Amino acid sequence: MSDYIAVIALAAFIGTIVVWNVLFKRNIGEAMFAGFIVSALFAGTDFPSALWIGLMDGLMNEVTYAALAFVVVGELLVRVGIVQRIVDVLSSMIGRFRGGSLYAATFGSALFGAVAHNGAATAA
């Protein structure tokens, strides 16, 4: 029975994200937080405990840290101008060829992904 409830909670989580993001036109971060709260409601009377433990376990997860660190460093690289310099260099090297902008963007993404050493951070 608990497996059945877990599948329903997962469906409610995904459904909440879709409704919050698509129908209410809110950002994905809010949608995921709303989905987190909805899925924690399936714990019944253990809702506060499930919410707290889920939040703490999620924040201590290596993938969460890697994704947050990748986003912070990415924002830093954009603000300092390093990303624009890399794009300029790659565009000057291969931008004049047909599809050069696409190749420059793909190669630049591969460079940043190679530095990350983490699949989740690269995807973020």
What digits encode the pLDDT tens for the residues 81-93? 887 888 788 888 8
pTM: 0.57
Tokens encoding 49:
């405990």
Domain boundaries, the chain: 2-60, 63-123
Q: With a cut of 70, say whether residue 45 has pLDDT above it.
A: yes
**Average of per-residue pLDDT values in the chain:** 84
Q: How many CB atoms lie within 10 A of CB 116?
A: 18
Reported confidence tier of residue 116, pLDDT bands at 50, 70, 90: low
119: Cβ contacts below 8 Å, ≥ 6 apart: none
Task: Calculate mean pLDDT across residues 96-102.
Answer: 80
